[in-house]
Amino acid sequence: MSALLPVALESVGCLLGCPRDDEVVLTGRDRLHGLPGEFRVLRCHSCGLLRTDPRPTPDSIDLYYPPEYGPYRGTRVVPRRRSVWRRLRSTLGRVARRVADRNADHLPPMRPGRMLEVGCASGSFLQQMAELEWEVEGIEFSESAGREARELGYPVQIGALEKAIPPDQPYDLVVGWMVLEHLHDPVAGLKKLREWTKPGGWLVASVPNAACYELRLFGERWYALHLPNHLWHPTPDSLREVLARGGWRLDRIFYHRDLKNVIGSLGYWLADRRILPRLARWMSEYPDREGSSYLLLHPLSLLLGLLRQTGRITVWARRVD
């Protein structure tokens, strides 16, 4: 791999400091951009936490976040002057989200205050909350995506959370949508965010759910595996422990009513077998798209959410004082 990309890899122990006693769960590769390298997923025998090993070092990981990285595209703020067709699609998408609540982005009941979004990407959620009278700030690893968020007028630190500087005033709310699994040291990151939050403040975070049937069914083709960007693979139990080590008390878990992972994983399955390549590509790109098509799948996703078997969760956690 080093002959193709200047990537430095490291092998680390369990994030919770357990003795080195692991089993190999699977070996996978980067499927999002087709970059070279093979990466194992290990399970700690002591606590059950899943982690990627070996993994790119903090100084090398940016190679796996090119400008065309899906979450960056999906969070761009679209100019209001659009074609009739685009406006109709946007309206249909909003209606569908209200009718078929995906249980993904609920926030605790609280008055507008100061909010930090970790991994704000191109700034769409910052803008959404600013329109609700929140004072918003962001941290974004990608320079290109962070610049787009800044161009919207919001203060955004560009770089890793580990190197971010403290705010002038503490936050009432910290959010991170599919971010914690990207951190090299999530416990240290959570401790830092706790220090930046007011007493009684909230953390809202979404992460993949590695405890669901999807990982067992699809294995290394599981869309939410996302190697090597995802450095650990949370379950509700391991996430609760990581949060506690970081100074947060898990308050509530929302199981997403969403089949994005399933559709993306089926796309990978078709691609590996070279079956229906156009459909395979559409399915593998589906999780990064927004629209009303998921409305058709809502009954099944609702059922799986009730059974706690969907591949994504959002949690509310309270700062421990």
* pTM passes above 0.75: yes
Q: Could you read off the pLDDT of 62-102 as tens digits, one per residue?
A: 889 887 776 655 555 555 445 555 555 555 555 555 556 78
**What's the rounded mean pLDDT across residues 41-54?**
96
Q: Could you read off the pLDDT of 15-31 as tens digits, one per residue?
A: 999 999 999 999 999 99
Q: Which of 71-80, 118-127, 301-310 has the lowest mean pLDDT?
A: 71-80
pLDDT in the model for residue 69: 77
pLDDT in the model for residue 70: 66
Residue pair 221/272 in contact (Cβ under 8 Å)? The answer is: yes
pLDDT in the model for residue 227: 96
Where do the domains of the chain lie, and which CATH numbers do they carry? 58-76+84-319 (3.40.50.150)
Rounded CA separation 119/75 (Å): 11
C-alpha dihedral, 20 to 238 to 26 to 207, nearest 10°? -140
Q: Which burial class, exposed, middle or buried, applies to 273 when counting CB atoms under 10 A from its CB (0-12, 13-18, 19+)?
A: exposed
Query: pLDDT over 90 for what percent of the chain?
Result: 72
Given a cut of 50, is residue 228 above it in pLDDT?
yes
pLDDT in the model for residue 296: 73
Which tokens in the block code for residue 14? 């369990």
**What's the rounded mean pLDDT across residues 298-321?**
90
pLDDT in the model for residue 77: 58
Query: pLDDT over 70 for what percent of the chain?
Result: 87
Q: Could you read off the pLDDT of 273-298 as tens digits, one per residue?
A: 999 999 999 999 988 876 555 667 77
